[in-house]
Structure 1
């Protein structure tokens, strides 16, 4: 059974680095969460390293600008690993072909800027579905619309044998009080319809490999046993940590606040029932990162 804690400081002496989710943990999609920021600042002052590991489809530089907009200060983190960077590298290696149909809002077009880390990147061209060799999903066209609206296009794509590259495996996020669909919901639908979806964010290995490289770039090769993963998604953050054999801290007051009856702290009975249902076993649980 997971151990409920009151503060990050209760356990961080056992860890040299944190892999920290952003949305629902450090900010709510509108503004920074002050207690979380303070906890990360204190951890860094003690010598720990903070890698922000996010399922954002944006490149690292784009996420950094977003953090400034939300009011997350630079001294709360050391480096960033995004599913967008991991997925973009794969796209420019040609994993879904060179002519791709982009599913996502216009604000995600920076995803199609070639990454510097890929040698001889493929010449990627955005085309309509009927001319595409593959699909790239950075998010829904409308984050409030039921993913099922994509069934007609996905049926055609499946019949043509197209693969879907998912740049954000999250199913939903909460932007303030509004719950929105993410790219992962569309990839899940396409898979359920018999199509093939390729994932590059949490809980899948590529983003953890990227996070370790980002940590190494700081001059620190830290054993997995000294890394703690933090997040509010049991199907992404916690499942990914379990798959990588990394200890985890579940933020119960995020996506699962209702199910775990979390106000300040989770209800222990409700938390156990929720984790049993989801077949999840985080090392630790806290209501909010603090």
Structure 2
């Protein structure tokens, strides 16, 4: 077994210390520039400063809503459009999947706030008994529900051999100071029962391919992988996705893994293996994104 290279892992104080030779940043949204309730002004200023120096910032989010809905949410948290060049969401990719099979009735699992993903589509919504597949954007009530609330439903879906389309591969997200269950947790439950799951969003390649297409449009050409930096706070989605794409990753420790990083100030081999397993560690660790 190959051990993680701890010699390459360091703690960074400022984003500018890592961006020499970087042209494009692919940044997570939730946990990097906001916590679901409040925006992070310093993080936004950091990305704005990178853009002011000629860099391109594409936000990549597992939000199960179209990019324009994500943008409206960011504006409500007073996050300026100048923070990024474009947004790519898992909701956009899921919407394309649904649009390609409008003749098939589907069961939607998720809160009403995610309904914009279906806006303008002639979708045939139905019950579990009549559905030909499932689209999940999260629990119906993520304030109180977890994946276990859906075990019975998933067992019934498995009997009908339904495909489960996950519009948000995140297991949990931070909302204020609480962790909230996401669609990824229900998807993993269904998969553990033996069900077929299609994931849209990080760490899967399609969302990165779309982000890189947008970056190429903004810059007038493709950017080599060694000139792209990914930023995120999730091992399962952000770090894994960056590694699959061959990109360096700046990992923020303040997010959903905050408890795991408490008191850690030396990147020794034991700590790196505990936090990242056998995965390639990130390029650097930073608590909060700052320029």
Please show how residues 219-258 of structure 1 align to structure 2 within 5 Å: 219-220=219-220, 221-258=222-259
Please show how residues 28-177 of structure 1 align to structure 2 within 5 Å: 28-94=35-101, 98-114=104-120, 124-143=123-142, 144-177=144-177
Kept in 1, the 8 Å contact 2:62–2:169? The answer is yes
1:52-109 Cα shifts (integer Å, max 9, x gaps): 0000001010000000011111111110010110111122223x97210000001111
Gaps of 5+ in 1: 116-122
SS in 2 for 1:84: helix
In 1: Cα distance, 2:166 partner to 2:276 partner:
28
In 1: Cα distance, 2:287 partner to 2:266 partner:
9
RMSD over aligned Cα, in angstroms? 1.8
SS in 1 for 2:38: coil
Q: Which residue of structure 2 lines up, in the alignment, with residue 198 of structure 1?
A: 198
What is the Cα deviation at residue 135 of structure 1?
A: 0.1
What is the Cα deviation at residue 146 of structure 1?
A: 2.2
In 1: Cα distance, 2:59 partner to 2:287 partner:
19
Gaps of 5+ in 2: 1-5
In 1: Cα distance, 2:261 partner to 2:72 partner:
33
SS in 2 for 1:61: helix
Kept in 2, the 8 Å contact 1:97–1:133? The answer is no
In 1: Cα distance, 2:217 partner to 2:261 partner:
38
Q: Which residue of structure 2 lines up, in the alignment, with residue 26 of structure 1?
A: 33
SS in 1 for 2:174: strand
In 2: Cα distance, 1:153 partner to 1:130 partner:
10
C-alpha distance 194-279 of structure 1, shift in aligned 2 (>3 A): same
Kept in 2, the 8 Å contact 1:261–1:267? The answer is no
TM-score by length of 2: 0.91
Kept in 2, the 8 Å contact 1:57–1:111? The answer is yes
1:223-279 Cα shifts (integer Å, max 9, x gaps): 2221111000010001000001011111111111110116xx855358524334373
In 1: Cα distance, 2:217 partner to 2:117 partner:
23
SS in 2 for 1:184: helix
Runs of 4+ more than 6 Å apart: none
Please show how residues 178-197 of structure 1 align to structure 2 within 5 Å: 178-197=178-197
C-alpha distance 178-278 of structure 1, shift in aligned 2 (>3 A): farther
TM-score by length of 1: 0.91
In 2: Cα distance, 1:33 partner to 1:51 partner:
17
What is the Cα deviation at residue 4 of structure 1?
A: 1.6
In 2: Cα distance, 1:249 partner to 1:274 partner:
18
In 2: Cα distance, 1:104 partner to 1:138 partner:
5
Q: Which structure would you say has the larger RCO, counting Cα contacts within 8 Å and 6 or more residues apart?
A: 2
In 1: Cα distance, 2:271 partner to 2:46 partner:
23
